[in-house]
Amino acid sequence: MTNMSPDEFRHYGYRVVDWIADYWKHLESLPVAPRVEPGDILRRLPAHPPEQGESFDAVLSDLDELLVPGLLHWQHPRFFGYFPANSSPPAVLADLLCSGLGVQGMLWVTSPACTELEQRVLDWLAQALGLPERFRLAGPGGGVIQDTASSSVILAVLAALHRASAGRVRRDGVTPGRYVCYVTAETHSAVTKAAVITGLGEQAIRQVPTRPGEQAMDLTQLRGLVTADLVAGHTSLLAVATVGTTSTCAVDPVPGMGALCREHGIWLHVDAAYAGVAAVCPELRWLHDGVAEFADSYCTNPHKWLLTNFDCDTFWVADRAALTGALSILPEYLRNEASESGQVTDYRDWQIPLGRRFRALKLWAVLRCYGLAGLREHIRRGIEHAQHVARWITADERFELTTPQRLSLVCFRLRAANQANLDLLARVNATGITFLTHTKIDERVSLRFAAGGTHTELHHVEQAWRCVQQQAATLLAG
Ligand SMILES: *Cc1c(COP(=O)(O)O)cnc(C)c1O
């Protein structure tokens, strides 16, 4: 085969859209988790690429035969592991358009609409989530789409270093042992990774204890550590406040952390990867308490719970000059009049890579097709599902909640040893009926039930819970 003709593309395009529609329609009848051993799929794939081109039919049939049986079905309505990784029809269609357009949005001039749609959509989302004016277009800050929350925290560290060193780090690099960052044991591991990547090293990470019996940062302990670092001659660079921790959806005390950070010139990054999008509901705006007053940077992931397929992390900074100051480099081959006029935004200076996809398209499609009302309905449905699960757990004396149900996440355990809980998880997931994951809270293994899937309805939640109960009954009987 050479290039597909437009008509052939149309033919296979329809087939692929049909394929996806059928996949979604029949997902329910597939086991949620695959039954494969390491290497099973690799062994069935040819060791060498084909010399002569094949038809796209061959690709589709291998997708069915070889790959689908090896997938964990994240869009399955009974998938309740990790956090949701929502995909949705408008987002998928817009992502296809993004691929078809194939534009690069690294500079304003390389596709003006790519940059300006992103600016508008991030401004829309900032309004929808109750984020402050200073993050918006008209203010000194601004928003940008990143691939992931992990990239956002790397950028926060780089911007913080630029500000704290008055630009010297750009030239001289990081002075070993000088800068420190504050997190808790519940903060996402991406922050430690960011310290490693940016050259601060793991030794820069200060793990602030959480309040006893809770999973949120203890402010008194934070104050103590900051003071000790000051005395020891370290520079307190950055604190990460998590709104909705990965393990249990705990919320750090952002206003208190913010006040302390302001007092000491510490950059406050708010990581709301999972939970932030829930603030689209007015009754959940409290999630952003303190962000307006104190956050230097903030991110949330529409690719988790806001119906926008991966990758789409939305990142805002209060002062874009710190970010672009840390990152902008202008080689001759990228020079252009628009950039030099200072009237345009070049998003390459707001991210790690140079090239960038037209990701705003899918977020725009989601915001337009669902509307804020549709998004609120989706968030509220996930929370209602979690509330049901929490009630059923409380009503079954074999089980207990390990933390209060928070948003669409329920952490619970069998009132039994850690090993029994791990066994229960393995049995549940082996049924193929549902899929859960686990965490450890104060040394106790807990199962996590994370609702919020795009296709999940109450009867799916009921089916999953019955499965957990049945497996618990067999486990306890055995
Ligand atoms: C999921 C998650 C992350 C990491 O998300 P990526 O976008 O995959 O990097 C970071 N922080 C929190 C709180 C998360 O829940």
Q: What is the pLDDT of residues 419-461, one digit of tens each?
A: 999 999 999 999 999 999 999 999 999 999 999 999 999 999 9
pLDDT digits (tens, 9 = 90+) for 65-119: 999 999 999 999 999 999 999 999 999 999 999 999 999 999 999 999 999 999 9
CA dist list (Å): 46 to 40, 50, 66: 12, 9, 11
Kindly report the number of other CB atoms within 10 A of residue 423's CB atom. Answer: 17
Q: Which atom of ligand 1 is closest in space to residue 246's alpha carbon?
A: 15
What's the CA-to-centroid distance between 233 and ligand 1, angstroms? 32
Q: Which residues of 149-170 are buried (b: 16+ CB within 10 A; e: fewer)?
A: bbbbbbbbbbbbbbbbbeeebb
Q: Which atom of ligand 1 is closest in space to residue 243's alpha carbon?
A: 13
Pocket test for ligand 1, best of 147, 274, 310 (most atoms within 8 A of CB): 274
pLDDT digits (tens, 9 = 90+) for 222-234: 999 999 999 999 9
- Sheet (strand 437-441) strand order: 399-401, 409-414, 444-450, 437-441
Q: Which atom of ligand 1 is closest in space to residue 274's alpha carbon?
A: 15
Please state, in angstroms and rounded to a whole number, the distance separating the CA atoms of residues 118 and 126: 12
Q: Which atom of ligand 1 is closest in space to residue 151's alpha carbon?
A: 9
Please state, in angstroms and rounded to a whole number, the distance separating the CA atoms of residues 25 and 272: 32
Q: What is the pLDDT of residue 331?
A: 83
Cβ–Cβ under 8 Å, residues 267 and 156: yes
| 376: pLDDT strictly greater than 90 | yes
What's the CA-to-centroid distance between 359 and ligand 1, angstroms? 18
Q: Which atom of ligand 1 is closest in space to residue 301's alpha carbon?
A: 7
Alpha carbon dihedral 162, 165, 171, 176, in 10-degree steps, equals -110
Residue 447: name the closest of 408, 477, 407, 418 by CA.
418
Tokens of 126: 């900032």
Kindly report the number of other CB atoms within 10 A of residue 348's CB atom. Answer: 24
All domains in the chain, ordered by first residue: 104-356 (3.40.640.10), 366-477 (3.90.1150.10)
The reply to whether ligand 1 has any atom less than 6 angstroms from the CB of 271 is yes
Pocket test for ligand 1, best of 271, 303, 306, 406 (most atoms within 8 A of CB): 271
Q: Which atom of ligand 1 is closest in space to residue 82's alpha carbon?
A: 1
Q: What is the mean pLDDT of residues 365-378?
A: 98
Percentage of the chain lying above the pLDDT 90 cut: 95
Pocket test for ligand 1, best of 246, 437, 439 (most atoms within 8 A of CB): 246
Q: What is the pLDDT of residue 212?
A: 87
| 1: pLDDT strictly greater than 90 | no
Q: What is the pLDDT of residue 49?
A: 96
What's the CA-to-centroid distance between 274 and ligand 1, angstroms? 7
Q: Whose CA is closest to atom 2 on ligand 1?
A: 273
The reply to whether ligand 1 has any atom less than 6 angstroms from the CB of 246 is yes
Higher pLDDT, 197 or 3: 197
Q: Whose CA is closest to atom 8 on ligand 1?
A: 148
Q: What is the pLDDT of residue 102?
A: 97
Q: What is the pLDDT of residue 138?
A: 87
First and final C-alpha spacing in the chain: 59
The reply to whether ligand 1 has any atom less than 6 angstroms from the CB of 190 is yes
Q: What is the mean pLDDT of residues 53-63?
A: 95
Q: Which of 76-85, 91-100, 206-215, 332-341 has the lowest mean pLDDT?
A: 332-341
Q: Which atom of ligand 1 is closest in space to residue 244's alpha carbon?
A: 13
Higher pLDDT, 139 or 461: 461
Q: What is the mean pLDDT of residues 354-381?
A: 98
Percentage of the chain lying above the pLDDT 70 cut: 100
Q: Whose CA is closest to atom 4 on ligand 1?
A: 149
What's the CA-to-centroid distance between 265 and ligand 1, angstroms? 26
Q: Which atom of ligand 1 is closest in space to residue 148's alpha carbon?
A: 7
The reply to whether ligand 1 has any atom less than 6 angstroms from the CB of 247 is no
In a 13 Å sphere around the CA of 170, the CA atoms on its Cβ side amount to 16
**SS in 3 state form for the chain?**
CCCCCHHHHHHHHHHHHHHHHHHHHHHHHCCCCCCCCCCHHHHHCCCCCCCCCCCHHHHHHHHHHHHHHHCCCCCCCCECCCCCCCCCHHHHHHHHHHHHHCCCCCCCCCCHHHHHHHHHHHHHHHHHCCCCHHHCCCCCCEEEEECCHHHHHHHHHHHHHHHHCCCHHHHHCCCCCCEEEEECCCCCCHHHHHHHHCCCCHHHEEECCECCCCCCECHHHHHHHHHHHHHCCCEEEEEEEEECCCCCCCECCHHHHHHHHHHHCCEEEEECCCCHHHHHCHHHHHHHCCHHHHCCEEEECHHHHCCCCCCCEEEEECCHHHHHHHHCCCCHHHCCHHHHHCCCCCHHHHCCCCCCCCCHHHHHHHHHHHHHHHHHHHHHHHHHHHHHHHHHHHHCCCEEECCCCECCEEEEEECCCHHHHHHHHHHHHHHCCCECEEEEECCEEEEEEECCCCCCCHHHHHHHHHHHHHHHHHHHHC
Average pLDDT, the chain: 96
Q: Which of 129-133, 136-140, 436-440 has the lowest mean pLDDT?
A: 136-140
The reply to whether ligand 1 has any atom less than 6 angstroms from the CB of 269 is no
CA dist list (Å): 439 to 62, 201, 269, 327, 392: 35, 26, 24, 37, 20
Q: What is the pLDDT of residue 393?
A: 98
Q: Which atom of ligand 1 is closest in space to residue 245's alpha carbon?
A: 13
State pTM to two decimals.
Answer: 0.96
What's the CA-to-centroid distance between 248 and ligand 1, angstroms? 13
The reply to whether ligand 1 has any atom less than 6 angstroms from the CB of 188 is yes
